[in-house]
Each structure stands twice: as C-alpha cells, then as structure tokens.
Amino acid sequence: AVTIASATATSATTVDLSWNAAAGAASYDVYYRLTSGSYGAVYSNTAGTTATVSGLTANTSYTFKIVAKNAVGVGATRTSAESAALTSPGAISNLAVTSPASGQASLSWSNPGGATSYTVKRGTVSGTWGTTVVTQAGTTYTDSGLTDGQTYFYVVYANNGTDSAVSNEDSIRPISSFSITSTSAVSSTSIQVDWGTATGAATYEVYLGTSTGSYNATPAATVSAPTVTATLTGLTAGTTYYIQVQAKNTVGGVTTTRSTAEEDQITPLGAPTISGIVATPGQAVVSWSTVNTATSYRLYWGTSTGDTSGGFFDITAPTTSYTHTALTNGQAYFYTVRSYNGAYSAYSTEASVKPIESFTVSSTIATATTITVNWTTPVLGADSFDIQYRTGADAWTTLASQNPGDTIGGLTASTTYDIRLVGKNTQGVTTSITTASVSRTTALGAPSGFALASTDGTVGASWTNNAASSYKLFRATTTGGYNYASPVATVASTPTTDSPTADGSTYYYVVRANNGSDSVDSTELSVRPIAAVTIASATATSATTVDLSWNAAAGAASYDVYYRLTSGSYG
C-alpha cells in the first residue's frame, strides 16, 4: 500500500508531498485537484518518494493522491488514500510604517486573502528581523517602547495555518518629543526661535502663521540637525506671529515628523523717525513720523548724546509731537522716540537741539547810506547772528555771521528800513530765533552847493536846500577837526552866518542836513576873516594925485584900492 506521509504547504503556490516506498512499485504518479473536481496528473513516473507541487493558488485547499505502479507482465498499480493541504496566504506587499509619537512605530497592511493571523517581526539591520513583536488577527499595530533616533526595520507574515512569504520591508526612525524653548523679537522684522533637541531628527522646519493653528505652507526656515535655532527675517513690524517647529527625517522613503506646541511672538513696531525739532526760548517742539498700528509713543530725552537720563514722555497715538517746556536756554537737549503696541520698537535715530534765549536790537545809528546795528552779547544758545533788513514789504536781505556794531551799507538816503536780528546755532537741528524788527530812517545826503563868504569878520554860509528838516553848520580850526555835538548854527534853511572870535585865523566849515539823523559832511571849505579896514588919510598931493593910508587889517594878505567920482561906479 502507498500512504501519503505528509502534504505541507511551503508557500502560497507550493505543497511538498512525501510518501512511503511501496514494495513492488517501480515509479509513482502524483495527482491533485481542488477539494472537488477531477484529478490532474502533476508528475508521472517519479522514481522517488517526494515531490513539490507548484503553480498553485494561494490560500486554496488541494487534495492529493499517489499512484504506485510497475510494468511487470500486465503491470500493476496501487493508489494511496487522499491527503489535503491548504496553501499559505499570499505575501503582504503594502506594509507601511509611521511614527505617530515618540518611541512608537505604527504599522498597517492589508489582508492578502485567507490570512487568519499575522506575525510582525522587527530588526535594527535591514534584512534581519530577529524579534517577533506580535502575532495577532488585526491588520494594524503600534509598537511602543522604541528608542528615539534608532532605525527599525519591520516585516509581516500572513498566516492561515502556514506563514506566507515575508512582506515588503519598511523602516522608521522615531523622533523624540521636543518643544520651543524661547522666541524673541530681534528687530521689528525678525524673530529668533530656539528649541530643544529632538532625538532622531535630521532637519528642523520652522513654520509661521498670523492666526493660531494656521501656518504658511512653506517653512520660514529649514536647518539641519544638530542646529536648534533659526532667525526668521522679512517679517512685518507690529505683527503677532504663531510659530511651530517640525522635526523631520526620511527613512525608508517615509518622512517622520514631530511637531512642537505653538508659540506666539509679536514683532516690535518699526522705529519712528524724528522729522523735526523747533526750539523757541525755553522749549522745544519735537515731531516724528507716524508708525501704523502704534497705540502710543515714548519720547526720551537727555542732555548729552546717548543719554536718556532726563526721562521720557508717553504720547497717545495718533499724536506725533510733544512740546518740551522749562528748558534751559543754551543747553543742548537730545531726543529719541519709540513706538508701542504691546511691545516697544527700537529707538529712533537721535536728534538734538539747543534753545536760544530772547534778545533785542539795542540801538541803530544811521548815516545817509549806512545803518550800524548793536545788540547785547552773549545770547544764551546763539553761536552766530545774521542782520536782516528791508524796506516796506520787500523780502528780507540777510547779512550772515555779523557782530554787534556791524554796519549795513549801500543804503538809500532818507529811507526807512526795518531791521531785525537772527540768532542761530547748529546743534543737531539748526535753531534760530528772530527778534522783533525796529525801524530806522537813513540820513539825508550831504547838502550841495556849499559856499562861504567873509566880510567884516563875519562868515556867511550858504548851500542848496535838500528837503531836510534842519541844517547844522560846523566850524573847526584844523581840517576835519569838528565837534559834531556842537554845531555853530542850526537853521531850517540856507543861509546863515558865523562870527569867529579871531580875525586873521583860518577856519574850516562843513554843513550837514538832518531829518532825525545827520547826513555826512558837505564839501569842506575854509576861510580867514579880515578885520575892519579904515582909511586913515586921503591927501591931495598935486593937481593929479591923492595919497592914501589905512590901518593894517588882521587877516589881510593884500589890499585892492578902488576909486570913483562922487557918483558912479568904482574903478
């Protein structure tokens, strides 16, 4: 008799058969069929007692029989009893591994058909799976207690009483949990993010959003481990950003991601720009640019560069100026400003100013073509002075960098000019203070046609009137030596006379016109008055001659003798 000793499924498509050697048998034929149906021969004239039936269908029950035979005489056959075998399930081909949490691997696969259980195996070297993790009926499994940063390789066997071939291998490297350790606004357009090390991470990606839980699709920064910091740039000032860091690695074609909790950070506002400072005696008005979304501004001040020890003033937006009072004239003040909307911006660029005290024009002295201007110095805060002048509503003409006692020249005689002073300094923002204006009328031009005549010790002076309110006649005993405070005559118009005290002396004269201010001198003239001349005797010494004698007249250099008949003209 022939008996099938074993019928074992060795794969999803093969069954190994073995039977006893039957006495008298020369060879064996192997037959199989499905559980129902007709047998078909697989192998014929097999001399041995084993055979592998291949090309079968996975997870299918087959029935086998062996026919022993010989060809002696008419030949003989002997058929074994039937034996059944179930082929293994097909191999799993879609094993996928992910890492849902620190120290875990999550496996999933599909039933290849006919499997009643599955065996999960794990190893730390590709192709070697020494650890049986679990045998179970389900098609998902979470493997816990793994070491973060270690790469694990997994396979699964399907089983229906017989294990299938091995599944595809998949691998994973778990990443440890980690968190953001700090965020800080580096500037109004950048944030620095720092986080703890995530064991198993190959890279880190930093994601930003402007609403909680919603991030831009493209990371704001990507760095490779072991770097655990990034500076995010190009941001908008005064904006709250929500930040998440993702640790990643790609192992076996699968990317593992571990994310931190969300943190938020507001960027400071942009720094304002001080647009101007206007200083007046004892105060300064500081102005700056508007910063969008600022709720307030803080203005700092001090009395030296970089110094904010003077204090600060908080100004509610949208106001962008502040009047700083009770300042000391001549003292420099330094200012910087920050914007605020929950966080302060950087400091603005520093600006400075120096207030100037009030001062006035103290006096003016006019001639026909000049006005001399005086004021009292020093003026606290003023480093230089300009003199400005004009007539009527004309534009002001400026003489820069003047000193007290300097003169405005080239003016028109008998014209009223408005005059004012501008005190200036160049401490930071240039500061100037302008005095009230004063009016001054230039003197008339010198009288023309000045002439002198002297008779009997008296000097007569005449000139051409030029609309002056008065005229002053000055006398000196040396050329130019006039005492302008003591004219010898002040008259409303020409002519006038003067009686010097000493005939025979030379005297020098000028005349000035006056309309509130004296004009310059007229042409200088000189004269020497002659004392009275008296004929002492006139004696006829012949029928045709008369002898004359007279006294010597002080001041006379020579004498002319004239005669005439009783009536008629002198010859």
Kindly report, residue by residue over 508-525, the tens digit of the pLDDT.
999 999 988 888 899 999
Contact 335, 393 (CB under 8 A): no
Q: Which of 394, 444, 434 is nearest to 418 (CA)?
A: 394
Contact 143, 122 (CB under 8 A): yes
Beta strand spans in 71-116 (E): 76-79, 83-86, 96-98, 105-108
* CA pair distance 123, 101, nearest whole angstrom: 19
Would you call 108 helix, strand, or coil by DSSP?
strand
Cβ contacts of 184-188, under 8 Å, gap ≥ 24 = 184/265, 185/265, 185/266, 185/267, 185/268, 185/343, 186/231, 187/267, 187/268, 187/346, 188/235, 188/237, 188/238, 188/267, 188/268, 188/269, 188/270, 188/271, 188/345, 188/346
Beta strand spans in 162-239 (E): 170-172, 180-187, 190-195, 203-209, 221-224, 229-232
Q: What is the mean pLDDT of each run of 10 residues along the chain (571 residues)?
A: 94 95 94 89 90 94 95 91 94 96 97 95 96 97 97 97 94 98 91 98 98 97 98 92 98 94 92 96 97 94 96 97 98 96 89 98 93 97 98 97 97 94 95 96 90 87 92 96 96 93 87 88 92 88 92 85 86 74
* CA pair distance 94, 111, nearest whole angstrom: 10
pTM of the model: 0.57
Within a 10 A sphere around the Cβ of 155, how many other Cβ atoms?
Answer: 22
Say which residues have a Cβ less than 8 Å from residue 465's Cβ, sequence separation at least 6: 447, 471, 493, 494
What is the DSSP track for 438-505?
EEEEPPPPPPEEEEEEEETTEEEEEEE--S-SEEEEEEESSTT---TTS-SEEESSS-EEE--S-TTS
Residue that the structure tokens 């069954």 belong to: 15
Task: Look at residue 458 in the predicted model and tell me its pLDDT.
Answer: 87
- Please return the burial class of 495, using the count of CB atoms within 10 Å of its CB with bins 0-12, 13-18 and 19+: middle
